[in-house]
Chain A
Amino acid sequence: MIYAGIDIGSITAKAALIKDNTLVDTLIIRTGYNHLDAGKAVLQTLLEKNNLTRNDVKAIVSTGYGRNSIDFADKALTEIICHAAGAHFISPGIRGVIDVGGQDSKAILINENGQMDNFAMNDKCAAGTGRFLEVMANALDVQLDQLGEYSLKADKPAKISSICTVFAESEVISMIANQEKRENIIAGIHDSAAARVAILASKTHLAAPVMMTGGVAKNQGMRKALEARLGFDLIVGHLAQENGAIGAAVLASRL
């Protein structure tokens, strides 16, 4: 029997299928304006790709910011519990998850049974979220997925002192005006965001082994900055971005 998880994030929609406790396949598409349409499309395309139909799917769990829009899901669960379940599914020894998403960043403490013991999320502020990085990428005229590459070439990372995204952007613009090296500014931005996320990890007493999930995990510069702040290495799987959807599929199998 197939179980499906659908994660509707602010930028991308992800789906995952599992069968007999094994991952079948995953898919990522752009969310667009309509959450329900994105949910239908991502699941349908993934099923077709694997020569399956909706009738093969026993249960569906939706998650992410658009979770409540997915009216055909059997249950809507938050991305926090899904990321915990996904990380535990991929690597049962994991004791913590750091997920930097578009809207929220979170640190999740996981026990040996894969259940979350505690979690902390960013306060009412975009600093330390994917949105912060997106704003900065725009200001620096760089593609979001190039940020990591640039920052690894930094020789003297800049210091961004403002916590507020809007003020940090002004600071970045002043640095551009002063012709600071783009690579150094980007490294500074990563450190500023990592500092915010590290506070969440500290609040929840995260200790290695910790997995980094979410789209931002693909950004090597951000990952390096976080590791420097945390004092331990992070585990990043090749399905970091799909981890929430995988967790949703795992939880669907337990409904």
Chain B
Amino acid sequence: MSDDQKNNLKIKSAKKMRDLMTTYYLEALTARQNNKKIAWITSGGPVEPLLAMDIIPVYPENHAAMIGASKMGEDLCVKAENMGYSSDLCSYARADISCAVVKGGPLGGLPEPDMLICCNNICGTVLKWYEVQARYYNVPLFILDTPVCHTGYSPAIAKYVETQLGEYIAFLEKICKAPFDYDKMQQVGDLSYDAQMLWQKILETAAHKPSPMSAFDAFFFLALIVTLRGTRIAVDFYQELLEEMTQRINQGIGVVPDEQHRLLWDNLPIWPKLKWLSDKFSSHNACLVADTYTSAWCGTIKYVDKSQFLKSIAEAYTRIYLNIGVDQMADQVMDMIDFYDAKGLIMHSNRSCKPYSFGQMDIMNIVSKKKGIPVLMIEADMVDPRSFSTSQIETRIDAFMEMIKQRS
């Protein structure tokens, strides 16, 4: 393939996205000079009230993903282990905890927080992780407890979470020494909703054959819906990205040359090996057309009511993919298999992320039985490359692709 052809395959919006993320982190790093407060918040936490109070949200998980992608994860994980943390602890937590102390990583550390907002809809580890950081920085911590919805969202859960959202507002008013700005909240809510809708539409463009983007692109473009949802920046950017994807579809541009096999990815990305994995699947003309991870940031939009944004996000934030029962997770995976016409499922058994990896064997069995498609489980870690055995994983992926080719 010529360089021109390769350039044609590249998604042009990537440069703008990098610039926006740089600006976002520069603003966060200079927040103190501009008399702005910083809140560290978990990736699945309700960020919109922070924006309504003009607080800059910073995401240790997004930062840890950057650490992983920059191949700085091993060093920081080892430093955390030297501090006494177990190598079984989540590598995002290890990377963040040691980074706070040594000021390492691609940014030289995150800006110090004025408060910590922890929502346990993604895992239980964040509770202890944020407690550690609250002690280290000596700042207040707000915990939003979202019970697991094994079978559904009950009135008791609704009342419990909605009450806590009220406490969250009171917590912010106390720290900011100002009344909550409900008008601004409405604007932020509208923008958050619009960005999630756009993100969903972008991901759905991958249903087209050939797919204009892959899960590897979604892993990259995800950063904005995580860090800047609720802002005009995210809405404008995703509008442009959606236009670019639509244009690629119209021009018949697929991200994987000569796409022949469509696969679904489950669990977080393996950040330090993204390029290797992307090249590996491309070499088999296989495109990872969708994943269960990036869709989490628009997966519960059906529960959001723009006219009652604050009240409705109690349900939306509680019913995310990682906080529901395994049967419901399997249903979502099967819906995606149908929608994207995936012919195989790759499950990353992620040593770090226990809640994501725990039910995978059941989901694997349900999907194989009901959809009759092959499933491959690969063992690795989202940040720590010591859990990645290249030759083992290569043989498994090659054999899996040989099997898929035989079937088709």
Q: Does B132 belong to the interface (CB within 8 Å)?
A: no
Q: Which of A77, A80, A118 contacts B374 (CB 8 A)?
A: A118
Q: Does B125 belong to the interface (CB within 8 Å)?
A: no
Residues on the A chain within 8 Å of B391, using CB: 65, 103
Most buried by B among A65, A116, A118, A124: A124
Residues on the B chain within 8 Å of A65, using CB: 391, 395
Residues on the B chain within 8 Å of A121, using CB: 392, 395-396, 399
Q: Does B379 belong to the interface (CB within 8 Å)?
A: yes
In the bound complex, what is the Cα–Cα distance between A20 and B403 (angstroms)? Answer: 25
Given the known A-B contacts A118-B374, A123-B379, A124-B387, are A80 and B392 also in contact in the complex, defined by CB atoms under 8 Å?
no
**Interface residue ranges of A99-125 to B (CB < 8 Å):** 103-104, 115-119, 121, 123-124
Q: Which residue on B lies nearest to A119, using beta carbons?
A: B399
Q: Which of B374, B392, B402 contacts A124 (CB 8 A)?
A: B392
User: How close is A191's CB to chain B, nearest CB, in angstroms?
Assistant: 24
The answer to whether A116 and B379 have CB atoms under 8 Å apart is: no
Residues on the B chain within 8 Å of A78, using CB: 395, 398-399, 402
Q: Does A169 belong to the interface (CB within 8 Å)?
A: no
The answer to whether B379 and A79 have CB atoms under 8 Å apart is: no
The answer to whether A80 and B406 have CB atoms under 8 Å apart is: no
Q: Does A81 belong to the interface (CB within 8 Å)?
A: yes
User: How close is B378's CB to chain A, nearest CB, in angstroms?
Assistant: 9
Band of interface residues on B: 10 to 19
In the bound complex, what is the Cα–Cα distance between A115 and B374 (angstroms)? Answer: 14
Give the A interface residue count (CB, 8 A). Answer: 16
The answer to whether B392 and A116 have CB atoms under 8 Å apart is: no
The answer to whether B403 and A81 have CB atoms under 8 Å apart is: yes
Q: Fill in one digit per residue for A2-30: 1 if any B CB lies within 8 Å of its CB, else 0.
A: 00000000000000000000000000000
In the bound complex, what is the Cα–Cα distance between A116 and B407 (angstroms)? Answer: 9
Residues on the A chain within 8 Å of B389, using CB: 124
Q: Fill in one digit per residue for A34-73: 1 if any B CB lies within 8 Å of its CB, else 0.
A: 0000000000000000000000000000000100000000
The answer to whether A81 and B402 have CB atoms under 8 Å apart is: yes
Q: Which residue on A lies nearest to B374, using beta carbons?
A: A118
Q: Fill in one digit per residue for B356-393: 1 if any A CB lies within 8 Å of its CB, else 0.
A: 00000000000010000010000100000001010110
Q: Which residue on A lies nearest to B405, using beta carbons?
A: A81
Residues on the B chain within 8 Å of A81, using CB: 399, 402-403, 406
Residues on the B chain within 8 Å of A116, using CB: 399, 402-403, 406
Residues on the B chain within 8 Å of A118, using CB: 368, 374, 403
Residues on the A chain within 8 Å of B374, using CB: 118
The answer to whether A77 and B402 have CB atoms under 8 Å apart is: yes
In the bound complex, what is the Cα–Cα distance between A236 and B374 (angstroms)? Answer: 28
In the bound complex, what is the Cα–Cα distance between A153 and B259 (angstroms)? Answer: 57
In the bound complex, what is the Cα–Cα distance between A115 and B395 (angstroms)? Answer: 17
**Interface residue ranges of A105-156 to B (CB < 8 Å):** 115-119, 121, 123-124
In the bound complex, what is the Cα–Cα distance between A246 and B392 (angstroms)? Answer: 22
In the bound complex, what is the Cα–Cα distance between A115 and B403 (angstroms)? Answer: 8
In the bound complex, what is the Cα–Cα distance between A232 and B87 (angstroms)? Answer: 41
Q: Which residue on A lies nearest to B402, using beta carbons?
A: A81
In the bound complex, what is the Cα–Cα distance between A121 and B377 (angstroms)? Answer: 10
Residues on the B chain within 8 Å of A103, using CB: 391-392
In the bound complex, what is the Cα–Cα distance between A185 and B389 (angstroms)? Answer: 31
User: How close is A130's CB to chain B, nearest CB, in angstroms?
Assistant: 15
User: How close is A43's CB to chain B, nearest CB, in angstroms?
Assistant: 22
In the bound complex, what is the Cα–Cα distance between A81 and B374 (angstroms)? Answer: 15
Q: Which residue on B lies nearest to A115, using beta carbons?
A: B406
The answer to whether B403 and A104 have CB atoms under 8 Å apart is: no
In the bound complex, what is the Cα–Cα distance between A237 and B395 (angstroms)? Answer: 25
The answer to whether A119 and B379 have CB atoms under 8 Å apart is: no
In the bound complex, what is the Cα–Cα distance between A119 and B402 (angstroms)? Answer: 11
Residues on the A chain within 8 Å of B402, using CB: 77-78, 80-81, 116
In the bound complex, what is the Cα–Cα distance between A53 and B158 (angstroms)? Answer: 77
In the bound complex, what is the Cα–Cα distance between A65 and B399 (angstroms)? Answer: 12
Residues on the A chain within 8 Å of B387, using CB: 124
User: How close is A67's CB to chain B, nearest CB, in angstroms?
Assistant: 9
Residues on the B chain within 8 Å of A115, using CB: 403, 406-407
Q: Which of A77, A104, A119 contacts B392 (CB 8 A)?
A: A104
Residues on the B chain within 8 Å of A123, using CB: 379
Most buried by A among B368, B392, B407: B392
Residues on the A chain within 8 Å of B398, using CB: 77-78
In the bound complex, what is the Cα–Cα distance between A117 and B391 (angstroms)? Answer: 23
User: How close is B286's CB to chain A, nearest CB, in angstroms?
Assistant: 15
User: How close is B123's CB to chain A, nearest CB, in angstroms?
Assistant: 22
In the bound complex, what is the Cα–Cα distance between A80 and B394 (angstroms)? Answer: 12
Q: Which residue on B lies nearest to A81, using beta carbons?
A: B402
Interface residues in chain A, defined as those with a beta carbon under 8 Å from any beta carbon in chain B: 65, 77-81, 103-104, 115-119, 121, 123-124
Q: 8 A–B contact pairs at CB < 8 A?
A: A65-B391, A77-B398, A78-B398, A81-B399, A104-B392, A116-B403, A118-B403, A124-B392
CB-CB nearest 4 A-B residue pairs: A80-B399, A78-B399, A81-B402, A115-B406
Additional pairs, 5, CB under 8 Å, beyond known A78-B395, A80-B402, A116-B406: A78-B402, A103-B391, A104-B392, A118-B374, A119-B399
